């Protein structure tokens, strides 16, 4: 790029096309801000006494620079925010750098304070859904996004009367008000508004059994299994030399906070049994279901967190058999085959009989 800048003809073309792009997308130079130096591009143009495109080229000749590009309209933002499939999220990543876009420190408290409490664009419930369960469904995660037994304990506690952002373009590191506590994987990362030093976060990976999907909390969801399982399905300390028998009958009605039903796994050799004591949220899409639970048995110990995924036609196993995948206490998941005739996954809108996924 620097070599191209030295060519007079190419430089003139780059300058012209840069200005065309800025005018089309960002309302010209007035829409460009450099957070590292905290300067407006328009001010830099005046200092250099050059056009907007030439100012950009001269800045790049001195080194790489990050820019914040302001565009769009508030009316459009509100319409997009209200759409039921729109999540509230930020692609800014985790960083302590305060010379960046104010969204890094302000996205979520801004939505809660401005668009929920002040403008009532969203309800509290829908805003929280857009920040938690909806993005988890959209990217395929299965053990996060809901407050439910067996789910990872990622929780933010905020004061709805005071939550608001304060980050600005000039000072992007200003902390918001109203965020009381934050738990990451069950450990307090923020207590009474103060960072604790706990670092319980970890890299989250999406496996083959985690499809991205639409949320269907307004539907009645059903999954059932009755039959044997070929091969062991449980990580240590649940070990067995015999086949497993699985009995599952789980339903979650529209708007119900948790699924209800039964899950029993019986060791074919010892007849030891593992049962679910509590269920979390049942999630379904075509030929697929997932839920979290608290389970007890087999080793005689305390309740453990379990993540269960049922595929009626597993696309990642030769022959596309029905499969059951289970992970206990976050251990590596184990997948075993089921008989497709023993598996039913049904989804129905409110007031409509549940439809079996074939």
What does the pLDDT look like over 94-111, one tens digit per residue? Answer: 788 888 889 999 999 999
- pLDDT, tens digit, 9 for 90 and up, residues 287-332: 999 999 999 976 667 889 999 999 999 988 888 889 999 998 888 8
Give the position of tokens 């639970």: 293
Checking if the pLDDT of 234 tops 50, the result is no
Average pLDDT over residues 254-273: 87
Determine what percent of the chain is predicted with pLDDT higher than 70. Answer: 92
Checking if the pLDDT of 356 tops 60, the result is no
Average pLDDT over residues 114-128: 98
154 contact partners, CB below 8 Å, separation of at least 6? 144, 183, 184, 185
Cβ-based neighbour number of residue 225 at 10 Å: 25
Q: What is the mean pLDDT of the chain?
A: 89
- pLDDT, tens digit, 9 for 90 and up, residues 128-179: 999 999 999 999 999 999 999 999 999 999 999 999 999 998 898 999 999 9
**CA 26 – CA 41 distance, rounded (Å):** 12
Checking if the pLDDT of 343 tops 50, the result is yes
Q: Name the pLDDT band for 15 (thresholds 50, 70, 90).
A: very high
Entry pTM: 0.83
**CA 356 – CA 223 distance, rounded (Å):** 9
Checking if the pLDDT of 336 tops 90, the result is no
Cβ-based neighbour number of residue 170 at 10 Å: 10
Phi, psi dihedrals of residue 336, rounded to the nearest 5°: -135, 155
Average pLDDT over residues 255-272: 87
Write the CA distances from 191 to 107, 147, 165, integer angstroms.
Answer: 20, 19, 18
**CA 320 – CA 324 distance, rounded (Å):** 12
- pLDDT, tens digit, 9 for 90 and up, residues 36-45: 888 999 999 9
- Using an 8 Å Cβ cutoff, are 267 and 298 in contact? yes
- Using an 8 Å Cβ cutoff, are 226 and 247 in contact? yes
Query: Range with the lowest mean pLDDT among 48-52, 73-77, 183-187, 266-270?
Result: 266-270
Checking if the pLDDT of 240 tops 60, the result is no
Q: Name the pLDDT band for 214 (thresholds 50, 70, 90).
A: very high
């Amino acid at each position: 790029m620097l070599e191209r800048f030295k060519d007079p003809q190419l430089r003139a073309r780059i300058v012209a096309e840069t200005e065309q792009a800025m005018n089309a997308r960002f309302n010209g130079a007035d829409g460009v801000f450099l957070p590292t130096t905290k300067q407006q591009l328009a001010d830099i143009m005046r200092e250099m006494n050059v056009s907007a495109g030439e100012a950009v080229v001269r800045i790049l000749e001195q080194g790489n620079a990050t820019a914040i590009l302001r565009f769009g309209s508030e009316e459009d933002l509100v319409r997009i925010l209200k759409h039921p499939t729109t999540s509230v999220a930020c692609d800014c990543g985790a960083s302590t750098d305060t010379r960046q876009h104010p969204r890094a420190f302000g996205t979520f408290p801004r939505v809660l304070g401005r668009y929920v409490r002040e403008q009532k664009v969203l309800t509290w419930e829908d805003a929280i859904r857009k920040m938690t369960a909806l993005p988890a469904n959209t990217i395929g995660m299965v053990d996060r996004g809901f407050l439910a037994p067996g789910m990872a304990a990622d929780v933010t506690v905020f004061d709805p009367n005071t939550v608001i952002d304060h980050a600005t373009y000039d000072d992007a590191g200003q902390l918001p008000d109203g965020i009381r506590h934050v738990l990451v994987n069950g450990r307090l990362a923020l207590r009474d508004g103060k960072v604790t030093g706990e670092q319980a976060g970890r890299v989250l990976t999406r496996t083959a059994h985690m499809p991205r999907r639409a949320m269907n909390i307004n539907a009645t969801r059903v999954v059932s299994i009755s039959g044997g399982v070929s091969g062991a399905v449980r990580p240590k300390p649940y070990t067995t030399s015999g086949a497993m028998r699985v009995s599952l009958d789980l339903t979650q009605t529209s708007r119900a906070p948790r699924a209800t039903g039964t899950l029993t796994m019986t060791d074919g050799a010892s007849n030891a049994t593992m049962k679910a004591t509590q269920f979390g949220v049942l999630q379904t899409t075509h030929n697929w279901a997932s839920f979290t639970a608290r389970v007890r048995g087999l080793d005689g110990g305390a309740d453990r967190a379990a993540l269960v995924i049922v595929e009626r036609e597993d696309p990642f196993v030769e022959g596309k058999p029905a499969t059951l995948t289970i992970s206990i206490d976050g251990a590596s998941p184990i997948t075993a085959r089921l008989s497709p005739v023993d598996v039913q996954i049904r989804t129905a809108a409110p007031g409509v009989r549940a439809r079996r996924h074939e």
